[in-house]
């Protein structure tokens, strides 16, 4: 009892409240304003008593997850992983998901700077490049934790990142492609667009490995999958393409077109989706590079809660996301 009273006295002095107020807060007896409760909490944490605090009275901390509106399997897998790992968060954390239209900078800027509700952390797969850095810097300046997903934002400092090295991914694709090629010709890179940094980085890494020995053509598909069959056919018939690196997930139209070709080129794609596994088994697709969405989600949430001063007993995977390479033999 004396030790408890001594502890309460220290917290009361630090918080500028009465010992009785500290007692009511720590024992969840109510009748304390939100402001005084917050001061007691902060004082207890500052004095090293945070582990003893009951989770029930912690102020809720909202984590906002901002993802692009995109129906491709990777984004669906990433969101599913977030929902799975969010179930293991301490009870005072709340995950809210926001989906934004791609290629609309003003919509993204408004959502980042003017959230629908107060938040303590932002996890974001930024739709853009260096122009996002000053916007996210404003968010961090007001005390929010920022974690970037899938790719880094050039020029952004003081944040955490959960994702793979996309330059290394592109170099890996180039190394795999070069190892399979047996003749000279043109290599085609098919990004869905070049707006997102990860695609431009993958292209740069790919060129770094194969650019000295092969002509590399980049053909953004602009997410128009219905035109891919004619594009791939033209590249094979008129451009002499012997290898295709698909940096996004333009898979079905490419796969169905290549299945009909006796002169099938080497094909490397991204993400271990059901469609890609099917094409690997059919020997239409040579390699898949997977960016580990399960670990990306877990790591991003871990980065947020690790900055929280109170331990919450969280059982999250803490390893960093890894580039994974799949072929027909290791499915």
More confident residue, 248 or 302: 302
Do 137 and 73 reside in the same domain of the chain?
yes
Do 172 and 285 reside in the same domain of the chain?
yes
pLDDT at res. 224:
67
Strands (DSSP E) found in the chain: 61-68, 93-100, 121-124, 145-149, 160-162, 186-189, 215-218, 241-245, 266-270, 287-290, 324-326
At 77-124, the pLDDT tens digits run 999 999 999 998 887 788 999 999 988 999 999 999 999 888 999 999
14 within some domain: yes
Do 170 and 281 reside in the same domain of the chain?
yes
pLDDT at res. 52:
59
Tell how far CA 312 is from the center of its chain.
Answer: 23
- The predicted model scores a pTM of 0.79
pLDDT at 167 over 90: yes
330 within some domain: no
21 within some domain: yes
CATH number at residue 15: 1.10.260
pLDDT at res. 49:
73
More confident residue, 46 or 219: 219
326 within some domain: no
pLDDT at res. 310:
45
Average pLDDT along the chain: 88
Q: In terms of residue numbers, what domain contains 226?
A: 166-290
CATH number at residue 264: 3.40.50.2300
How would residue 56 be classed by pLDDT, with cut points 50, 70 and 90? Answer: very low
pLDDT at 57 over 80: no
Rounded CA separation 294/162 (Å): 11
How would residue 46 be classed by pLDDT, with cut points 50, 70 and 90? Answer: confident
pLDDT at res. 59:
60
Rounded CA separation 63/304 (Å): 8
pLDDT at 60 over 80: no
- What 249-254 contacts at long range (C-beta under 8 Å, 24+ apart), as own/partner pairs, is 249/72, 249/73, 249/74, 249/192, 249/273, 250/190, 250/192, 250/221, 250/225, 251/275, 251/276, 251/279, 252/225, 253/225, 253/226, 253/228, 253/229, 254/190, 254/228
Do 12 and 115 reside in the same domain of the chain?
no
Cβ 288 vs Cβ 271: under 8 Å: yes
More confident residue, 3 or 285: 285
Which residues does 203 contact at the CB level (< 8 Å), separation at least 6? Answer: 170, 189, 191, 194, 218, 247
Do 139 and 241 reside in the same domain of the chain?
no
210 within some domain: yes
Q: What share of the chain is helix, strand, coil (3-state, %, to 5)?
A: 45, 15, 40
Q: What is the mean pLDDT of residues 176-193?
A: 95
For the chain, what's the residue count? 331
Do 186 and 245 reside in the same domain of the chain?
yes
Rounded CA separation 196/129 (Å): 7
pLDDT at res. 135:
97
At 266-292, the pLDDT tens digits run 999 999 999 999 999 999 999 999 999
277 within some domain: yes
Do 206 and 300 reside in the same domain of the chain?
no
Do 182 and 277 reside in the same domain of the chain?
yes
Q: For the chain, what is the domain count?
A: 3
331 within some domain: no
Rounded CA separation 88/93 (Å): 10
Rounded CA separation 41/56 (Å): 12
pLDDT at 299 over 50: yes
Do 171 and 272 reside in the same domain of the chain?
yes
pLDDT at 164 over 90: yes
Do 8 and 91 reside in the same domain of the chain?
no
170 within some domain: yes
Which residues does 319 contact at the CB level (< 8 Å), separation at least 6? Answer: 295, 299
Of the residues 17, 37, 57, which one is the last residue of a structural domain? Answer: 57
Do 183 and 257 reside in the same domain of the chain?
yes
For the record, the structure tokens of 61 come out as 């901390």
Do 123 and 226 reside in the same domain of the chain?
no
35-74 burial code (b ≥16 CB/10 A, e <16): ebbebbbebbbeeebbeebeeebbeebbbbbbbbebebbb
């Amino acid at each position: 009892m004396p030790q408890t009273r001594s502890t309460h006295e220290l917290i009361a002095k630090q918080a500028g409240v009465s010992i009785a107020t500290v007692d009511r807060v720590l024992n969840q007896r109510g009748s304390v304003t939100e402001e005084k409760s917050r001061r007691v909490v902060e004082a207890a944490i500052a004095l090293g008593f945070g582990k003893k605090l009951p989770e029930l009275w912690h102020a809720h901390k909202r984590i906002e997850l901002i993802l692009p509106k995109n129906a491709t399997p990777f984004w669906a897998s990433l969101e599913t992983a977030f929902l799975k790992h969010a179930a293991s968060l301490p009870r005072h954390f709340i995950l809210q998901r926001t989906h934004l239209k791609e290629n609309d900078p003003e919509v993204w800027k408004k959502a980042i700077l003017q959230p629908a509700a107060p938040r303590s952390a932002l996890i974001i797969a930024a739709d853009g490049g260096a122009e996002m850095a000053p916007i996210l810097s404003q968010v961090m300046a007001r005390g929010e934790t920022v974690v970037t997903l899938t790719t880094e934002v050039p020029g952004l400092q003081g944040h955490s990142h959960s994702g793979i090295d996309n330059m290394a991914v592109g170099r890996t694709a180039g190394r795999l492609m070069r190892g399979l090629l047996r003749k000279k010709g043109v290599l085609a890179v098919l990004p869905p667009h070049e707006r997102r940094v990860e695609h431009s980085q993958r292209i740069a890494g790919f060129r770094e490995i194969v650019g000295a020995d092969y002509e590399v053509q980049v053909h953004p598909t602009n997410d128009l999958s219905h035109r891919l069959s004619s594009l791939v056919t033209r590249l094979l018939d008129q451009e002499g393409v012997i290898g295709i690196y698909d940096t996004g997930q333009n898979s079905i139209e490419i796969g169905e077109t290549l299945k009909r070709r006796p002169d099938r080129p080497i094909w490397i794609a991204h993400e271990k989706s059901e469609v890609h596994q099917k094409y690997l088994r059919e020997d239409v697709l040579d390699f898949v590079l997977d960016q580990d969405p399960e670990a990306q989600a877990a790591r991003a949430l871990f980065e947020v809660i690790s900055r929280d001063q109170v331990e919450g007993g969280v059982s999250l995977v803490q390893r960093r996301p890894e580039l994974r390479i799949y072929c027909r033999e290791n499915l």
